[in-house]
Amino acid sequence: MARPVVLVADPDLAAAARLVTPEYGDLEVRAAEERADWLTSSAPGAAAIVTLAAKVGADALGAAKNLRAVVKMGRVYDHVDLDALRKKDLPLALVRRKGPNCVAELAMTLILALSKDLVVANRGVTKGLYRYRGLRPVLSSQRVMAFRWLAPANLHEVVGKTLGCVGFGEISAELSRRAQVMGMNVLYTRRSRMPEAHEQLHNVAYRDLNTLFEDSDYVCIAVPHTDATHQLIGQEQLKRLGPNGYLVNVARGGIVDEPALIEALQKQEIAGAGLDVFTYEPLPFDSPLCRLHNVILTPHIGGGTGTTRDAELREALHEVRRLLAGEAPTLPAPLP
């Protein structure tokens, strides 16, 4: 019996596909080639298509007469033609990606830590700064305690606050879910705006870059560092964020004009920042950032314990096996 053909639509996944193919002897895994028409020309024999970011359009879906499964690695799927999927009466299965989840976790951690002035609070407790407020330790009980004994000036709740995402790929999609659970409103900006139906799916609203900074309490940067995004965030955007706003960067240091950010923090033109990435890494120990009290710094840990494309592709191929066996998607995508 012929093995089901699985097309891995992204050329970026070709190396990973070659690596993991021996583990899936029951499937014929074909890796994308650097040809614009590869997916469409290969589709007629396909039982399944796996995509990370490659466009899966009506032409490819229409040509795939025997298609039984489409798997998207991640949660952002505006590059998949959903009308064509409906015509074939096929669901779209999503597979969570470890990398974006790890980065989103750190971004949310930094947001919550900034809202609780956590580093300053910890430092104040460990250094016994209550002594400078004329306090002394007393035995606590249910009704006797020293509530907010250091009177943190920047303590606030994130519920009702607005998060602006610079970029809306897999990291921002995961972060927005977490932020909304915490009661935050979410805005986004990116090079190409998502279709309205996808904005509704993610419950996010679009703004251009400068308006995003004006309308947000927190801004999180989650775009690649390219020529187009180099020092994308500078003095103008930081001024628009304002003295009550916070910047979180979990992308790359060069996307932010670091001297402009340091100046804005020193002058309290913005309230604070949570930074996992820097212009130079490791961050030089004598950087002015290390002497600021309104910054939380982490040593580029956003990727968590690490992941690889082959590990993520294994998850997708495991889902393909399930779908070809007649099982329902583990994580079905809503089709607006």
Show which residues are catalytic.
Answer: 252, 281, 300
How deeply is 112 buried, as exposed, middle or buried, from its count of CB atoms within 10 A (0-12, 13-18, 19+)?
middle
Cis status, amide bond into 282, omega within 30 of 0: yes
DSSP string, 159-211: TT-EEEEES-SHHHHHHHHHHHHTT-EEEEE-SSPPPHHHHHHHT-EE--HHH
**8 Å CB contact between 287 and 261:** no
Return the number of other C-beta atoms located less than 10 Å from residue 320's C-beta: 26
- What span, in angstroms and rounded, lies between the C-alpha atoms of 203 and 114? 24
**8 Å CB contact between 203 and 260:** no
C-alpha gyration radius of the chain: 24
Question: 115: number of CA atoms within 13 Å, CB side?
Answer: 19
